[in-house]
Structures are given as structure tokens and as C-alpha cells.
């Protein structure tokens, strides 16, 4: 018996922080349950109202116990900051607690005391990891989570940029953002928050990079808010958010508390697709509480009309292409076809995009059926329509006229454009498509849907090859016309120069 007691004593000592946390949490939980019982059974208050009061009181007790006893954090210099984060997180847990209590009691019929006991245990587990890794371990909050720390660069404007995703090997448009941020950092001091990341992360010129670690959305939301608060506290009062709802909501909340501006980029056509009611409300809230940034004047005007935005709270920033980098080491057409094992005699029609109905993948096969055997389609990309397209090609016995290449990393995509006679973009929805910039950069003519900002970013001579009539007959006719009377590659490359990265990044800096 003595050995058993010694074993458990040693175990408790080694895990004393956890033991203290359980005792502190248990004290808070008992305090909550006792308060809930007294207010409900003795004073006769409605159980949900009792739960609100009990939760507030128990949270105060828990904060003091965790700070001064569990984690032995005697330093009061950060008391306000820690208290702010602690109570903000508890407010979020309070919402979950109240909602959970309602669900368990009113919907599942559990006794309210049992329901609160279950919820207290669940919240306790979540809280432990949050406090251990975020609040009380480091007095200079969140410091260990950053890739690098350095003093502020004198004279530079500070901004916080929230990026939804980083992947050095990505095949998406995000590959354009990483070098762009490096260019921008010449004039702006950037605090970069990355919501999801993969692989080694290096962006020239950016000293402060916070890579979120949490995978569950509920934790990612909290982590994003805390990182945004950290940035604001260090003087990065203005935020630029690329698409992300989570990032935008965090930035809005932080700036409402501490001041600053939020710029929110979106360049899609969301009105074409029905969202859930809650998601739509969140999107509209973001648009109304930020400075909206999009790719063209036409798209900006459409958002103003559809969402009731104020024109003075909108900005236009075009997409870009690094002409020097994109054209580097790109082969000539004959060499590209040889190395990609494509016929020198066929008329190559290239599709590069996400294989979905939004991006017109459903128009590829019907268009190909209307063209002769001299036309060969190279399809680059993956997506939900990939299997259906593959099956359709087999069903129509058109395998000899197609190559489904799958995903191609962005660093290699130029070779496919170099091999093509025509680029084909039959999209249902677009904003400011990078693929058209890539096509123009290499002087490849295109046939495309006239959607989004397409007509605003191409040369006048190319407008006869875009159409609002998204049917295969029109596409097939335009493809034939484009091959028989192609536009000069010089016209296309000259237009692409307007969107070179060296011309666009100063426009980004001027936003601030």
C-alpha cells in the first residue's frame, strides 16, 4: 500500500501543473454548480439565467486560481492582457455552455445538473490546452510561436496580412502571393498570419510569421483572434485579409477594440451560388465592416450594387504576374511539345483550371465533339468534375483526342502554355483570372467566357474571342476562328506587361 501511495504521490508531483489545474478547475466547477443550484432551486431563478450568473462568477474564480496558483504567474504587468484573452475565450465558452445546456436539457431531456456537469468537464479539457499553451506559459504572450523576431524597421508602415494557406508546391493562385509579399516588404513591415501551411516557409523580407497550429476550426478561430490581437498590440493596426472569413472576423473584432482598418480581398461572383443563411450573413457583415478590395472596377461596381457597399469604402487592385519569373526557362513550342510528348501536327487546345462546373469543365467535352480530329485537348487540373470528364471521354471514344494531365505544379505550367495553340477558359464564374495573364504573358491566344472582370483585363483585339453565350457551338466556332486568324502575340504580351508584379506591388503599398 505504501509503495502504491508513493507511486501516485510521485506521479502527482511530476504532473503537478495538471493536478493543480484539475483542482483549480474542480473548485471553479463546484463553485459554478453550487451557485447554479442556489440560484435555481433556492431563489427560483430560470435555469438559463442562473447558468449565466454562475458562469461569470466561476470564470473570475478560475482566472485567479489558474494565474496565481496553478501556473505561479505572480507578474501583474500582463494582468490586463491575460485577463482580456482569458475572458474573451471564456465568453466564447460561455456561448457553447449555454447552447449545450439548452440542447441537453430542452432537446434531450437531461436533468439540468447532470447536463452542466457534462459540459463543465468538456470545457475543462478545452481550457487546459488553451491556458497551458497560450495564456500563462509565456508572459510575453505568443512569442514562441513566431518564426522570427526583430525590431521594427524605421519609417515603414506596419500592416498585418492574413493568408489562408501557404504551400510552396501549390498549383493554385496562392503561388503568386508569396513573392508578391516579398516585394511589398520593401516598403511595408508585415506581420504575416498563416491559417494553414505545409512545408518549409520562407518569404524574403518578412520577419514575423505566425503559422497557426490548431486543426479544429473552433481552436483555429481562437488562435487567429489571439494572433491578430498580438499583431495589433505591436503596432500592426491595419489588416489585409485575403478571402478568409475567419481572418476577417478576427481582424474586425480586434480593430473595433483597439482601432485600425481592415482591408478585405474578394474577387469572385458569390451571388451566382446560394450560400447557407448563416454563411451569407457572415459574408455581408464582413463586407459592411471592412474596406473591400477587388480586381477590377466592374467587379467593384457589381459588389457595390448587390451588397449595398459605399464606393468610398472600396478599392481596386489588379492581379499580377511576374513576367520575368514566369517566362524563365520556358521552351519554344516545338521543344515544349517534344518534351511533353505532344504531337507537332495537332492543334493543341489547353485547359488549365480547377475541374468543376464553376470553371467550365462541363463544356470541354461537348466543345471537343464539335471539332475535327485535328484538335487535341490537354486538360490540366483536378477537381470534382474530373471523374465525370474521364468517363465521358471513354464513353464517346475520344481518348485519342484528350490528355488529362492532372495537377501540375505552378513552376511547370508555363511549358504547357508554350505548347498550346489556343487557351480555352469556358468558366461560369471568374474574377480576375491568373490563367489569362499566363496565356497573354506567353503570347498564346485564348477563347473564354465573358464573365467577371475578363473583358476589362484583355486587349481590345481579344474581345471578339470571348462570349457571354456559354454553349459548345459558340466555343467551337470561336476556337476555329482563333486558329485561322490568330491575334498577334505581341498584342497579348504587351497587355500582360500592364500587370507585371513590378507595376502592381506599389499599388498595394498605396492602399495604406
d(CA 104, CA 108): 5
Residue 194 has pLDDT above 90, yes or no: yes
Query: Domain check: are 278 and 331 in the same one?
Result: no
Read off the pLDDT band of 470 (50, 70, 90).
very high
CA 129 to each of CA 147, 162, 229, 263, 333: distance values in angstroms, whole numbers, following the listed order: 21, 24, 19, 32, 57
Query: Domain check: are 352 and 474 in the same one?
Result: yes
Q: Is residue 403 part of a domain?
A: yes
Query: Domain check: are 97 and 193 in the same one?
Result: no
Q: Is residue 508 part of a domain?
A: no
Query: Domain check: are 5 and 45 in the same one?
Result: yes
Query: Domain check: are 107 and 17 in the same one?
Result: yes
Mean pLDDT value of segment 275-298 = 96
d(CA 509, CA 173): 20
Query: Domain check: are 271 and 398 in the same one?
Result: no
Q: Is residue 222 part of a domain?
A: yes
CB atoms within 10 A of CB 167: 15
Task: Determine what percent of the chain is predicted with pLDDT higher than 70.
Answer: 90
pLDDT tens digits, 111-160? 888 888 888 778 777 777 777 666 765 433 344 445 544 455 567 899 99
CA 338 to chain centre: 38
Task: With 0.75 as the threshold, say if the pTM is over it.
Answer: no
Query: Domain check: are 250 and 340 in the same one?
Result: no
Q: Is residue 141 part of a domain?
A: no
pLDDT value for 83: 74
Mean pLDDT value of segment 25-41 = 82
Number of domains in the chain: 3
Query: Domain check: are 299 and 173 in the same one?
Result: yes
Q: Residue 461 is part of a domain; what is its CATH number?
A: 3.40.50.2000
Residue 249 has pLDDT above 60, yes or no: yes
pLDDT value for 12: 44
Question: To 10 degrees, the CA torsion angle through 299, 304, 306, 309?
Answer: 140
Note down the domain range covering 182: 157-320
pLDDT value for 62: 75
Residue 34 has pLDDT above 70, yes or no: yes
The residue among 300, 320, 340 that closes a domain is: 320
Q: Is residue 212 part of a domain?
A: yes
Q: Is residue 408 part of a domain?
A: yes
pLDDT value for 16: 64
The residue among 104, 135, 166 that closes a domain is: 135
DSSP string computed for 312-353: GGEEE----B-HHHHTTTPPPHHHHHHHTT--SSSEEEEEES
The residue whose grid cell reads 491556458 is 131
pLDDT value for 8: 44
Q: Out of 38-52, 157-171, 424-438, give the one with best mean pLDDT.
A: 424-438
Query: Domain check: are 309 and 331 in the same one?
Result: no
Q: Dig out the grid coordinates for 28 from the structure.
A: 471553479
CA 343 to chain centre: 39
Query: Domain check: are 189 and 77 in the same one?
Result: no
Mean pLDDT of the chain: 87
Residue 509 has pLDDT above 60, yes or no: yes
Q: Is residue 509 part of a domain?
A: no
The residue whose grid cell reads 510569421 is 209
Q: Is residue 361 part of a domain?
A: yes
The residue among 281, 296, 320 that closes a domain is: 320
Read off the pLDDT band of 199 (50, 70, 90).
confident
Name which of 85-94, 95-104, 208-217, 355-364 the model is least confident about. 85-94
Q: Higher confidence at residue 210 or residue 486?
A: 210
The residue whose grid cell reads 467535352 is 365
Mean pLDDT value of segment 7-18 = 50
Residue 10 has pLDDT above 50, yes or no: no
pLDDT value for 90: 73
Query: Domain check: are 306 and 178 in the same one?
Result: yes
Residue 346 has pLDDT above 70, yes or no: yes
The residue whose grid cell reads 513573392 is 179
pLDDT tens digits, 351-360? 999 999 999 9
Residue 266 has pLDDT above 50, yes or no: yes
CB atoms within 10 A of CB 102: 14
Residue 69 has pLDDT above 80, yes or no: no
Query: Domain check: are 443 and 466 in the same one?
Result: yes
DSSP string computed for 220-272: HHHHHHHHHHHHHHTT--EEEEES-HHHHHHHHHHHHHH---EEEE--S-GGG
The residue whose grid cell reads 499599388 is 507
pLDDT value for 244: 95
Amino acid at each position: 500500500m505504501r509503495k502504491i501511495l508513493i507511486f501516485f504521490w510521485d506521479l502527482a508531483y511530476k504532473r503537478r501543473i495538471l493536478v493543480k489545474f484539475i483542482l483549480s478547475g474542480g473548485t471553479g466547477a463546484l463553485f459554478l454548480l453550487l451557485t447554479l443550484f442556489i440560484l435555481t432551486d433556492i431563489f427560483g431563478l430560470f435555469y438559463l439565467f442562473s447558468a449565466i450568473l454562475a458562469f461569470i462568477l466561476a470564470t473570475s474564480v478560475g482566472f485567479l486560481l489558474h494565474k496565481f496558483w496553478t501556473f505561479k504567474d505572480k507578474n501583474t504587468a500582463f494582468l490586463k492582457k491575460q485577463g482580456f484573452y482569458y475572458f474573451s475565450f471564456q465568453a466564447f465558452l460561455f456561448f457553447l455552455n449555454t447552447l449545450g445546456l439548452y440542447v441537453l436539457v430542452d432537446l434531450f431531456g437531461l436533468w439540468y445538473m447532470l447536463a452542466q456537469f457534462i459540459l463543465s468537464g468538456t470545457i475543462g479539457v478545452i481550457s487546459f490546452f488553451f491556458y497551458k499553451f497560450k495564456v500563462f506559459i509565456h508572459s510575453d504572450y505568443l512569442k514562441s510561436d513566431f518564426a522570427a523576431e526583430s525590431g521594427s524597421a524605421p519609417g515603414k508602415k506596419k500592416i498585418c496580412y492574413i493568408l489562408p494557406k501557404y504551400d510552396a508546391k501549390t498549383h493554385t493562385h496562392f503561388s503568386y502571393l508569396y513573392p508578391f509579399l516579398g516585394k511589398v516588404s520593401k516598403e511595408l513591415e508585415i506581420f504575416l498570419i498563416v491559417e494553414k501551411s505545409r512545408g518549409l516557409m520562407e518569404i524574403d523580407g518578412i520577419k514575423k510569421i505566425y503559422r497557426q497550429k490548431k486543426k479544429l476550426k473552433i481552436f483555429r478561430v481562437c488562435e487567429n483572434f489571439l494572433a491578430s490581437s498580438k499583431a495589433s498590440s505591436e503596432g500592426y493596426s491595419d489588416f489585409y485579409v485575403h478571402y478568409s472569413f475567419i481572418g476577417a472576423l478576427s481582424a474586425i473584432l480586434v480593430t473595433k477594440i483597439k482601432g485600425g482598418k481592415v482591408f478585405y480581398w474578394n474577387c469572385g461572383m458569390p451571388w451566382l451560388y446560394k450560400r447557407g443563411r448563416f454563411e451569407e450573413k457572415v459574408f455581408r457583415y464582413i463586407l459592411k465592416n471592412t474596406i473591400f478590395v477587388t480586381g477590377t472596377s466592374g467587379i467593384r461596381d457589381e459588389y457595390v450594387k448587390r451588397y449595398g457597399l459605399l464606393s468610398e469604402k472600396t478599392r481596386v487592385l489588379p492581379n499580377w504576374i511576374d513576367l520575368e519569373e514566369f517566362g524563365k526557362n520556358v521552351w519554344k513550342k516545338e521543344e515544349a511539345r517534344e518534351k511533353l510528348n505532344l504531337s507537332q501536327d495537332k492543334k493543341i487546345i489547353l485547359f488549365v483550371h480547377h475541374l468543376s462546373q464553376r470553371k467550365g469543365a462541363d463544356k470541354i467535352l461537348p466543345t471537343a465533339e464539335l471539332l475535327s480530329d485535328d484538335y487535341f485537348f490537354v486538360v490540366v487540373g483536378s477537381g470534382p468534375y474530373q471523374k465525370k470528364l474521364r468517363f465521358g471521354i471513354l464513353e464517346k471514344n475520344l481518348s485519342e483526342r484528350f490528355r488529362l494531365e492532372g495537377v501540375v505544379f505552378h513552376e511547370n505550367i508555363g511549358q504547357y502554355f508554350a505548347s498550346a495553340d489556343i487557351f480555352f477558359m469556358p468558366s461560369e464564374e471568374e474574377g480576375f483570372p491568373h490563367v489569362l495573364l499566363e496565356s497573354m504573358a506567353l503570347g498564346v491566344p485564348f477563347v473564354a467566357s465573358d464573365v467577371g472582370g475578363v473583358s476589362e483585363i484583355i486587349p481590345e483585339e481579344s474581345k471578339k474571342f470571348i462570349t457571354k453565350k456559354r454553349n459548345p457551338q459558340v466555343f467551337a466556332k470561336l476556337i476555329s476562328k482563333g486558329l485561322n486568324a490568330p491575334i498577334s502575340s505581341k498584342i497579348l504580351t504587351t497587355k500582360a506587361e500592364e500587370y507585371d508584379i513590378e507595376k502592381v506591388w506599389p499599388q498595394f503599398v498605396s492602399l495604406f
